[in-house]
C-alpha cells in the first residue's frame, strides 16, 4: 500500500502519479487534498506519515509546489526518511543508500514525464542492505534520541 498526498501546488501532478500507480497495479490511498484549493502541506504530510508509522502503508508519496515544505514536514517524524527527488539518480540512490520510505516531488519543478520515471525508479529499487548504510540509518535515529534525551 502506498499513501499519497499533495497540497494545491502538487495537486495536478498527484493525479498523474495516481494514474501511473493504478495502471501499474499498485494499491494506494489518496489522503488529500481532494481539491485544487489552497491547503497546508504539513497537514498532508502528517496524514501520509501516520499511515506509514501505523503500518497501513509501506511507502508514501508527497507532492507540494517545490517538494521542500512537504519533505521538511515529513522528516520531523522519527522513522520517516523522506527524500526530495528531482531526477532518477536521486530516486535510485535514496532507495539503495537511505532506504527512503517517502518520495517527495515538486509539482512546479518536475514535469509529469520525469515525475513518473522518478516514481517508477523509487518504487522498484530495493535498499542495498549494505552494512555502512544500515549503520548510518541507525545513527539517524540514535543521534536524534540522544538529542531529545539530553
Question: How far is C-alpha 67 from the chain's CA centre?
Answer: 9
Is 39 or 143 the residue whose CB approaches ligand RB5 more closely? 39
Residue nearest to ligand RB5 (CB): 69
Cell of 94: 535514496
Nearest approach in angstroms of CB 149 to ligand RB5 is 31
Active-site residue, selected from the candidate residues 24, 85, 97, 133: 97
Find the helix or strand (DSSP H, E) in which 72 lies.
helix 68-74
Active-site residue, selected from the candidate residues 24, 39, 64, 85: 64
Instruction: Mark whether 97 is an active-site residue.
Output: yes
Nearest approach in angstroms of CB 62 to ligand RB5 is 10
DSSP 77-122: STT--EEE-SSHHHHHHHHHHH---EEEEETTTS-HHHHHHHHHHH
Alpha-carbon span 3 to 31, nearest angstrom: 7
Is 66 or 101 the residue whose CB approaches ligand RB5 more closely? 66
Nearest approach in angstroms of CB 65 to ligand RB5 is 3
Chain positions contacting ligand RB5, by CB under 6 A: 7, 9, 41, 64-66, 68-69
Amino acid at each position: 500500500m502506498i499513501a499519497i498526498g499533495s497540497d494545491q501546488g502538487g495537486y495536478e501532478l498527484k493525479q498523474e502519479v495516481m494514474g501511473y500507480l493504478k495502471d501499474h497495479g499498485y494499491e494506494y490511498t489518496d489522503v488529500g487534498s481532494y481539491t485544487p484549493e489552497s491547503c497546508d502541506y504539513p497537514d498532508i504530510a502528517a496524514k501520509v506519515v501516520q499511515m506509514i508509522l501505523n503500518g497501513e502503508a509501506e511507502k508514501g508519496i508527497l507532492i507540494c509546489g517545490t517538494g521542500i515544505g512537504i519533505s521538511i514536514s515529513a522528516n520531523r517524524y522519527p522513522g520517516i526518511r523522506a527524500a526530495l527527488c528531482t531526477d532518477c539518480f536521486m530516486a535510485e540512490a535514496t532507495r539503495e543508500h537511505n532506504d527512503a520510505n517517502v518520495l517527495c516531488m515538486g509539482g512546479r519543478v518536475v514535469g509529469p514525464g520525469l515525475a513518473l520515471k522518478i516514481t517508477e525508479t523509487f518504487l522498484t529499487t530495493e535498499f542495498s542492505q549494505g552494512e555502512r548504510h544500515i549503520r548510518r540509518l541507525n545513527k539517524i535515529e540514535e543521534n536524534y534520541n540522544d538529542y531529545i534525551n539530553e
